[in-house]
Chain A
Amino acid sequence: MRAPDSPSRPQFYFALPRLFAALSGGSAARSESNAVEAHVGSVVVFVVTYLFLATFVPIHNALLHVVALIVLAFLTWIFWLVLVYLNSVILWPLRRAGFLKTSSSARPQSVMVGFETTIFALVLAQHTDATRFVGKLWIAAVCVNMLAAIALSFMPAKGRIEA
């Protein structure tokens, strides 16, 4: 728990903002306390998945299509609940075998969520309509973030703390 008068420079989870923070004299330590990341990250993952699933909704009638797209928002939620559960089933033997050292599975899940969302984005990027820009934007963000992670790994430990 941090009191209001304690140092409150923003800290980040994703590698790119952490790199910027380190370059501007701040801390590159990984943190899960950033509200912008918590909200924007959530929305972007959801939008990419929603658009990916929307490609499977057949268009017969405009009204039905609108109803289907509204229902799809809830189906996307359920889709993620199931997918995250399946990810945990995949991670379970890795944990049993001692490959995962932390008590939380959130970090390996984060890698899997990123990987799965990138697959959806790759499919979207093949499209000819406007959704391809969303797919390409995600892929670009992932690439830049990975480059930032590599850059962070070469930085001195003081600024980096944890790549």
Chain B
Amino acid sequence: MTEPAPSWLRRFAVRGVFWRQYLDWAIVNLPFYMHFVLLSFWTFFFFFFAAPARRAILANLRVILPRSSYWANQLRAFRTLYNFAWTITESAVYKWTKADFQYELVGSALLDELAAANGAIVLTAHMGSYDLGAALFAQKFNRHIRMVRAPEPDRQTERHLSASLQQAGSGAVKVDYNTAGALLSFDLLNALRQGEIVSIQGDRVPGDVAQVEGRMFGHKVLIPGGPFNLALAAQVAIYPLFIVRNGYKRYGIIVLDPIRVVRTGPDRSADIAAAVAQWCAALETVIARHWDQWFAFAPIFDAHARA
């Protein structure tokens, strides 16, 4: 068994806090017109050094775009990492400068409905700038959001991301980490019953949390079961919501038809399965169109095979 790296060295790991802190420093210190070239080179750097993330993107692409060749997928993986670089950079720009961003809405009536809802679950994916989206939603509609994230492998990075989100959302976004403990579930259920909005990432199962089986791109996948159980218990709707980057400081907010988990008979799991199928269909539609902004960085389809 190998010894874990010392803490000072872990800072420099791909998901270590050093890179997040460096990004913050760069945003405060660099003129905006330096970002493009520097980010392109940083993408090259991480394309080679973040090999597990690159391999995960490739594994997912093989399922999403089965006809795409090996070399084309390498370029697509680069493009995904490049988009990720821009996305986290622009989130940091917003955090530090509250810069003016432009957005386009798909499903604006649904967004208004969500904003007026007395308790709702926003089910989203590791896609585009979900951090920026939550912060902006909270500010635009003057609503507090409870955001549930997958825990980061590095504690310092986790603390840094939580602080960044709270800073970007001017305190209106509270971050919770999705772990196997039951306390968070009760806490979230309570929040929903009090009319709050809870945002959960529903495309990847972190650690040992409860999972349900779905189907995407003709493959079985495992997704978190928590959002569906919560929706059933609290009797609130699930709104699939995605934030995609459409260009320089331009984002698209996509809100799809709400999923209602309704008890129809004695078989509770059948009701959950119907809602999961709706979510998977929504996720598949958005990923098929925006595969280059799906930052799951874990082999989603292989995970089912391993389980």
Q: Is B182 an interface residue (CB 8 A)?
A: no
| B114-159 contacts to A (CB < 8 Å) | 136, 139-140
Minimum CB–CB distance from B242 to chain A (whole Å) comes to 16
Complex contacts, A39 vs chain B, CB 8 Å: 36, 248
Is there an interface contact between A104 and B36, defined as CB atoms closer than 8 Å?
no
Selected contact of B29 from candidates A34, A43, A84, CB within 8 Å: A84
| Chain B residue, CB-CB nearest to A103 | B28
Q: A1-B136, A1-B140 are in contact. Are A35 and B248 (CB under 8 A)?
A: yes
Is there an interface contact between B38 and A77, defined as CB atoms closer than 8 Å?
yes
Minimum CB–CB distance from A53 to chain B (whole Å) comes to 14
Selected contact of A4 from candidates B29, B30, B41, B102, CB within 8 Å: B102
| B144-199 contacts to A (CB < 8 Å) | none
Majority secondary structure, B binding face: helix
Selected contact of B35 from candidates A1, A3, A42, A77, CB within 8 Å: A42
1/0 per residue, CB under 8 A from A, across B229-260: the answer is 00000000000000000011100000000000
1/0 per residue, CB under 8 A from A, across B88-105: the answer is 000000001101111111
Is there an interface contact between B101 and A110, defined as CB atoms closer than 8 Å?
no
Is there an interface contact between A80 and B34, defined as CB atoms closer than 8 Å?
yes
Is there an interface contact between B37 and A35, defined as CB atoms closer than 8 Å?
no
Rounded to whole angstroms, the CA-CA distance of A2 and B94 in the bound complex is 13
Is there an interface contact between A4 and B103, defined as CB atoms closer than 8 Å?
yes
Is there an interface contact between B33 and A41, defined as CB atoms closer than 8 Å?
yes
Determine which residue in A33, A37, A77, A106 has the highest number of CB atoms from chain B within 10 A of its CB, and name it.
A106
Is there an interface contact between A42 and B105, defined as CB atoms closer than 8 Å?
no
Rounded to whole angstroms, the CA-CA distance of A125 and B96 in the bound complex is 38
Rounded to whole angstroms, the CA-CA distance of A158 and B248 in the bound complex is 27
Minimum CB–CB distance from B168 to chain A (whole Å) comes to 12
Is there an interface contact between B101 and A42, defined as CB atoms closer than 8 Å?
no
Minimum CB–CB distance from B164 to chain A (whole Å) comes to 16
| Chain B residue, CB-CB nearest to A6 | B102
Rounded to whole angstroms, the CA-CA distance of A84 and B33 in the bound complex is 13
Q: Is B71 an interface residue (CB 8 A)?
A: no
Q: Is B31 an interface residue (CB 8 A)?
A: yes
Interface residues on B, range: 20 to 34
Is there an interface contact between B97 and A42, defined as CB atoms closer than 8 Å?
no
Is there an interface contact between A2 and B102, defined as CB atoms closer than 8 Å?
yes
1/0 per residue, CB under 8 A from A, across B5-38: the answer is 0000000000000000000001111111111111
Q: Is A133 an interface residue (CB 8 A)?
A: no
Q: Is A140 an interface residue (CB 8 A)?
A: no
Determine which residue in B31, B37, B100, B136 has the highest number of CB atoms from chain A within 10 A of its CB, and name it.
B31
Minimum CB–CB distance from B145 to chain A (whole Å) comes to 15
Determine which residue in A1, A32, A106 has the highest number of CB atoms from chain B within 10 A of its CB, and name it.
A1
Q: Is A145 an interface residue (CB 8 A)?
A: no
Is there an interface contact between A77 and B41, defined as CB atoms closer than 8 Å?
yes
Is there an interface contact between A2 and B34, defined as CB atoms closer than 8 Å?
no
Rounded to whole angstroms, the CA-CA distance of A121 and B30 in the bound complex is 20
Q: Is A38 an interface residue (CB 8 A)?
A: yes
Is there an interface contact between B28 and A38, defined as CB atoms closer than 8 Å?
no
Q: Is A55 an interface residue (CB 8 A)?
A: no
Complex contacts, B97 vs chain A, CB 8 Å: 32, 104
Q: Is A31 an interface residue (CB 8 A)?
A: yes
Determine which residue in B44, B96, B249 has the highest number of CB atoms from chain A within 10 A of its CB, and name it.
B249
Minimum CB–CB distance from B106 to chain A (whole Å) comes to 11
Is there an interface contact between A13 and B32, defined as CB atoms closer than 8 Å?
yes
Complex contacts, B36 vs chain A, CB 8 Å: 38-39, 42-43
Q: With A2-B101, A4-B103, A41-B31 given, can you name 14 additional A-B contacts, CB distance below 8 Å?
A: A1-B102, A4-B102, A8-B102, A32-B32, A41-B33, A74-B41, A77-B38, A81-B38, A84-B29, A87-B29, A103-B28, A105-B29, A107-B31, A113-B31
Interface residues of B (CB under 8 A from A): 26-38, 41, 44, 96-97, 99-105, 136, 139-140, 247-249
- What are 23 sample pairs from A and B whose C-beta atoms fall under 8 A apart? A2-B103, A4-B104, A13-B32, A32-B97, A32-B99, A33-B100, A33-B102, A38-B248, A39-B36, A42-B34, A42-B35, A42-B37, A74-B41, A77-B38, A80-B37, A81-B38, A84-B29, A84-B30, A104-B29, A105-B28, A106-B28, A109-B29, A109-B31
